[in-house]
Structure 1
Amino acid sequence: MANVLNKYAESLLEVAKGQGVAQSVYSDLLEIKQALVNDSTFAAFAEDPKISKEARTQFVSETFKGVDAPLMNLLKILADRKQLGLIPGIVDAFVEYYNNANQQAKMKVESVYPLSSEELDALGKVFIEKTGYKKLLIENIINESLIGGIRATIGTTVYDGSVINELNQLSKSFQKQ
């Protein structure tokens, strides 16, 4: 299944880049996924075998009428093949391909309190230099269990500068002695 999702996502990115609308498609996909995650009626509709191809295609045309042509074409293909339920997975795969193509990544920053935009910008600059990415999409998450400091996650790499981590490291070093 992941292979199908990747093929759809990769093809969409290629066509969107060719037409100069990759950024717009990226934004639309994020909005579509956010809307679908919270909509159980869409999930039921997407999985209902009783709904005809024509009804699905008409639904897609009316619901997503403001999106760029490459995305609309993909949505119509999914409707025609009764695969609308694949949209969230395709979005995830597209985001990964888009981020790789644009040398950007998501960065989750955990802190005890909300960080200001200046603090997040400063952290972003440090991690851009450290990782080589051109851009980091930073999300600040409050985690009071850290006691202080921050924990940053980019992909599968965790940079832990929290007080709780320092205390754990100190405890481990005492246990070794």
Structure 2
Amino acid sequence: MSQVAKRYAEALFGLASNQNIIAEVSADLKELSKVVETTPELLSLVNAPKISAEQKKAMLATILVNVNSAVLNTINLLVDKKRINEIAEVAQEFQALAASAQGAAEATVFSTRALTDEERAEISASFAKLVEMEKLDITNVIEPSLIGGIRVQIGNYIYDSTVAAKLDGLKRTLVG
């Protein structure tokens, strides 16, 4: 995570907190992250040196017509400062700040199949205690190579209880 993205996210979070619009901004940033992830051409277009900053901002305002004004102003600032490539990291850092303010942490759970709501709640309750939070906001990533079990990543903390990891450990023990 770059320091620049962190500062922009903190500023946006402060503004959203003061205006009591954290949930709206968070939802807009999640959608924006999906758009950037699925259409990398958008960032290429916005980074094109032949297009002026004003044209870029007008184009983005047309595309992001329903986005909260605080998010749009942040995007415009990133365009002006030639830091629009940082938008995904700004969104990610904002989500972490919002979750922490609500007593929650972001967690990624890798599994061989989609988790049920009951399993998500159980994982959230169990692992939230480990990181001293009230709950976890879980993103489930399906990874068939795990064979079975789950791997939970919360920030820098990783709990790996997958069959693949256990087999790898057994292999190291036997081979030496």
TM-score, normalization by structure 1: 0.81
* Match in the other structure for 2:157: 157
* Match in the other structure for 2:75: 75
- Mean Cα displacement is larger for which, 11-20 or 134-143? 134-143
Are positions 1:140 and 2:149 aligned together?
no
Letter in 2 for 1:142: I
Cα distance in 1 for partners of 2:120, 2:138 equals 7
TM-score, normalization by structure 2: 0.82
* 1:150 Cα offset (Å): 2.5
Cα distance in 2 for partners of 1:172, 1:54 equals 58
Letter in 1 for 2:118: E
Cα 1:39–1:162 change in 2 (3 A) is closer
* Match in the other structure for 2:111: 111
- Mean Cα displacement is larger for which, 57-66 or 23-32? 57-66
- Secondary structure, counterpart of 1:79 in structure 2: helix
Cα 1:168–1:44 change in 2 (3 A) is closer
Cα 1:114–1:29 change in 2 (3 A) is closer
Cα 1:112–1:70 change in 2 (3 A) is closer
Unaligned stretches of 5+ in structure 1? none
> What is the number of equivalent residue pairs in this alignment?
176
- Mean Cα displacement is larger for which, 167-176 or 136-145? 167-176
Letter in 1 for 2:38: N
1:32-111 matches, cutoff 5 A: 32-111=32-111
- Mean Cα displacement is larger for which, 7-16 or 109-118? 109-118
Cα distance in 2 for partners of 1:7, 1:15 equals 12
**Which of 1 and 2 has greater Rg?**
1
How big is each residue's C-alpha offset from its partner over 1:97-143, in whole Å with a ceiling of 9 and x where there is no partner? 32333332222223333332212212211222333212212133334
Cα distance in 2 for partners of 1:72, 1:56 equals 12
Q: Percent identity over the alignment?
A: 29
Cα distance in 2 for partners of 1:31, 1:121 equals 24
Cα distance in 2 for partners of 1:28, 1:94 equals 11
Cα distance in 2 for partners of 1:175, 1:85 equals 45
